[in-house]
Structure 1
């Protein structure tokens, strides 16, 4: 069994990996500096790394790195940190999110030239839809589980009780925006809604990374 110093270093490594995963998952912001010729207001992020798109490798690589980090971090965190029902659920959900995100990058959107004519979720006609849906569902479970844990395992989860909760609300509102607009005619700036949703996820991963060093054993074991 590793000593206390090694455990502390590993915990910091897990926290750093979460921060890096959040940064890599936000690689879509490069659309504003690369000549991808996208329309952020009404285009989906899946179109950035669709088959045949310029700079597809940039956005796909960002997602792959984020996914690989989360796949490695989740089981490591389950070993390093005390196991409680909420945090265990959160880590398992993050593992599923990482796996679904990796599949998302490996199974890109196809034939997106006519996406505008297929409604809110053109991906639903393609295998890419399943991986995207699993990713969103998994991260939703993770965020809810860790947010609940942040209020239960006081006082060292302060970041998730404040910034994490704000990001949860923002992400939920953006998701509601997208779901409601799916039943209405028109575009309703759905590209903006999705970017807000994904941006909130990225920032939440970073917030979780900063929260971990303060989530000591006594706090996490207290009911």
Structure 2
């Protein structure tokens, strides 16, 4: 009988490692955009959105689209596993659900790719709008917005949980720094997109997405390094 708790504990630890591995790999795949500096894509990172890398007709669309599919395919079961394996608290439940939504929205991004926008044919972009980013008026913008919103909710929820429950030190320290970096890039994008001229929105988005990838890897590290705290019961607050 004494072996049963040990077996259960081992199973929980194996599951937590699998969840952490899935999240970490998803974080790495979500940073596949760095390949734009290696592959002969010839895009200007200063004034292009990352969605243009896997837009319809782009030469390396399958590379970036496949990476995004892997992100969604890993995060959705990882989020479900997090809900089932770790103690449920209001904030962490919100975080896992938001992470699941982020994975689903990332796959939707692939299924609704950006249509190629050219100055000669703005009708392909859904009508008039931002001269710098007319693709904001495409259906792809909705899935991208859902993805960014979902992971933002996940980051805030897990960060608040780390402080409220006094656990997961790596999320309280490194996670909050990454949150601040991503928030600054988001503010940069929101403000600059409403001003005339080019304010390097492409750079802002790459910082934002890079912060997302780093946070996912940080979450995975929290699950691995502090797995015991995730599994042991905590007092309800």
TM, length-normalised to structure 2: 0.88
Q: CA 1:14 to 1:186, structure 2 compared with 1: closer, same or farther past 3 Å?
A: same
Give the alignment partner of residue 33 of structure 1, picking from 21, 28, 38. 38
Distance 2:102 2:230 in 1: 25
Aligned partners of 1:72, 1:221: CA distance in 2, in Å? 27
Cα-to-partner distance string for 1:186-221 (whole Å, 9 max, x where unaligned): 111110000000000000000000001313334654
The structure whose Rg is larger is 2
Q: How large is the Cα RMSD of the aligned pairs?
A: 1.9
Verify the 8 A CA contact 1:96 1:135 in the aligned structure 2. Answer: yes
What displacement does 1:120 show? 5.1
Q: Paired residue for 1:86?
A: 91
SS in 1 for 2:54: coil
1:120-199 equivalences in 2 (<5 Å): 121-155=133-167, 157-199=168-210
List runs of 5+ in structure 1 lacking aligned partners: none
Aligned partner of 1:101 in structure 2 is 106
- 1:48 is paired with a residue of what secondary structure? helix
The answer on whether the counterparts of 2:130 and 2:136 sit within 8 Å (CA) in structure 1 is: no
Cα distance in structure 2, aligned partners of 1:220 and 1:148: 15
Separation in 2 of the partners of 1:133 and 1:220? 34
1:4: which partner in 2?
9
Q: TM-score, normalised by structure 1?
A: 0.94
User: Would you say the 8 A contact 2:87–2:233 is kept in 1?
Assistant: no
Asked if the contact 2:12/2:231 (under 8 Å) is kept, the reply is no
Q: Structure 2: 5+ residue runs without aligned partners? A: none
Provide the residue aligned with 1:203 in structure 2. 214
Contact 2:89 2:236 (8 Å CA) reproduced: no
Q: Please give the secondary structure, in 2, of the residue aligned with 1:184.
A: coil
